[in-house]
C-alpha cells in the first residue's frame, strides 16, 4: 500500500507517510487520545513512496504493561476509493468548489461554533453581474469558463481558513470563521477587485456584486444568509460591482 519496504521504514518516524493535506489537529487528537489510554479511530490521508495519496481507516489502541503505556497497535484499512466517492459527492462538478449541500453544512457548523464560543463569523454572497448576457451572447460554454475562472481567482485570494462553495447558478457563498463584518467587507472588496481586474479571453472584463453579513446572537442559517442576500440586492440596485 505504501510502496516502502520494511527496511525503508526502519527507524523512521510515521510522518514519512503523512500527506501535506492532513491537518495537525488530527494527529494532536490521535496522540492525546492514546496518551489518555483510550483507543482512537479515524480517517487519515497519507501518501506512498511515489507521493500518490491514499486514505486509511485507522483503529489505534495503546498497549499497557503494569498500567503504563509501552506502545500501541494499529489496524488500518485502505478506503481510498470510498473516500474519493465521498469527496466527489461534496464537490460542484463544474467549478471544483464545495456544492450547495456541503457549503450549507459547513455554514451550520461555523454558526454552531460561533454561538458556542462567542466568536465572530461572517459570510459573503457573490453574484456575477449580468451573467445571463454571457450565456445569451457567447453561449453556455463561455459562461462555464467564466465561472471556473472566477472560482480559481477567489480560491487564490481567500485565506486558508475560509471556505467557498457554489451556492447556485452564478452565485457563490464564502464563509469566514472568526471574522468580523469589517474584515469580511475588506475581503469582499479584495475579491471584487481581483475579479474586475482580470481580462477574460472572450468577453473581456467581468464584475460581480457582493453582500456581507456577520452573525448575530440568535441567528439561524436562513437569517444570516438572508441578511447577506439583502446586502447583495442593495449592491445590485446601486449599480453592481459593489460590496455592501
User: How confident is the model over 224-239, as pLDDT tens digits?
Assistant: 999 999 999 999 999 9
Q: Is the pLDDT of residue 220 over 70?
A: yes
Helix 181-196, helix 140-157: angle, nearest 10 = 130
- DSSP reduced 3-state for 103: helix
Summarize pLDDT for 158-182 with one digit per residue, the tens: 998 899 999 999 999 999 999 999 9
pLDDT of the residue at 21: 76
Q: Return the CATH number at 113.
A: 3.30.70.270
CA–CA separation, 32 and 233 (whole Å):
48
* Contact assessment for residue 149 and residue 198, using Cβ atoms and an 8 Å cutoff: yes
Q: Is 170 a catalytic residue?
A: yes
pLDDT tens-digit readout, 75-114 = 666 655 664 555 556 888 899 899 998 899 899 999 999 9
**Co-location of 59 and 106 in the same domain:** no
**Per the residue annotation, which of 170, 189, 214, 237 is the catalytic one?**
170
Residue 240's pLDDT is 98
Percentage helix, strand, coil, to 5, in the chain? 45, 30, 30
Instruction: Return all residues near 38 (Cβ < 8 A) that are at least 6 apart.
Output: 62
The pTM of this model reads 0.68
pLDDT value of position 12: 66
| Residue 51 lies inside a defined structural domain of this protein | yes
Residue-wise pLDDT for 114-153, tens only, equals 999 899 999 999 999 999 999 999 999 999 999 999 999 9
- Number of domains observed in the structure of the chain: 2
Q: What confidence tens digit (pLDDT) does each residue in 22-74 have?
A: 778 887 888 888 888 888 888 788 787 777 777 777 777 877 777 766 566 66
User: Quick one: pLDDT at residue 9?
Assistant: 63
What is the domain-level CATH number for residue 38?
Answer: 3.30.450.20
**Residue at 61 is within a domain:** yes
Query: Which of 61, 85, 109 is the C-terminal boundary of a domain?
Result: 85
Amino acid at each position: 500500500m505504501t510502496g516502502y519496504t520494511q527496511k525503508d521504514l526502519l527507524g523512521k518516524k510515521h510522518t514519512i507517510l503523512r500527506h501535506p493535506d492532513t491537518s495537525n489537529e488530527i494527529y494532536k487528537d490521535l496522540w492525546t487520545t492514546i496518551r489518555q489510554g483510550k483507543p482512537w479511530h479515524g480517517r487519515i490521508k497519507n501518501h506512498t513512496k511515489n507521493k500518490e495519496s491514499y486514505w486509511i481507516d485507522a483503529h489505534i489502541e495503546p498497549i499497557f504493561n503494569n498500567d503504563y503505556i509501552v506502545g500501541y497497535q494499529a489496524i488500518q484499512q485502505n478506503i481510498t476509493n470510498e473516500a474519493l466517492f465521498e469527496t466527489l459527492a461534496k464537490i460542484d462538478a463544474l467549478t471544483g468548489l464545495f456544492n450547495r449541500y456541503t457549503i450549507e453544512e459547513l455554514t451550520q457548523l461555523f454558526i454552531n461554533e460561533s454561538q458556542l464560543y462567542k466568536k465572530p463569523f461572517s459570510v459573503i454572497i457573490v453574484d456575477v453581474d449580468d451573467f445571463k448576457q454571457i450565456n445569451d451572447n457567447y453561449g453556455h460554454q463561455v459562461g462555464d469558463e467564466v465561472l471556473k475562472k472566477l472560482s480559481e481567482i477567489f480560491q487564490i485570494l481567500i485565506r486558508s481558513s475560509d471556505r467557498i462553495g457554489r451556492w447556485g447558478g452564478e452565485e457563490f457563498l464564502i464563509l469566514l470563521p472568526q471574522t468580523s463584518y469589517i474584515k469580511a467587507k475588506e475581503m469582499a472588496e479584495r475579491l471584487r477587485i481581483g475579479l474586475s481586474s482580470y481580462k477574460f479571453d472572450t468577453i473581456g472584463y467581468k464584475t460581480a456584486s457582493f453582500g456581507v453579513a456577520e452573525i448575530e446572537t440568535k441567528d439561524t442559517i436562513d437569517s444570516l444568509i438572508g441578511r447577506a442576500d439583502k446586502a447583495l440586492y442593495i449592491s445590485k440596485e446601486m449599480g453592481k460591482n459593489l460590496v455592501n
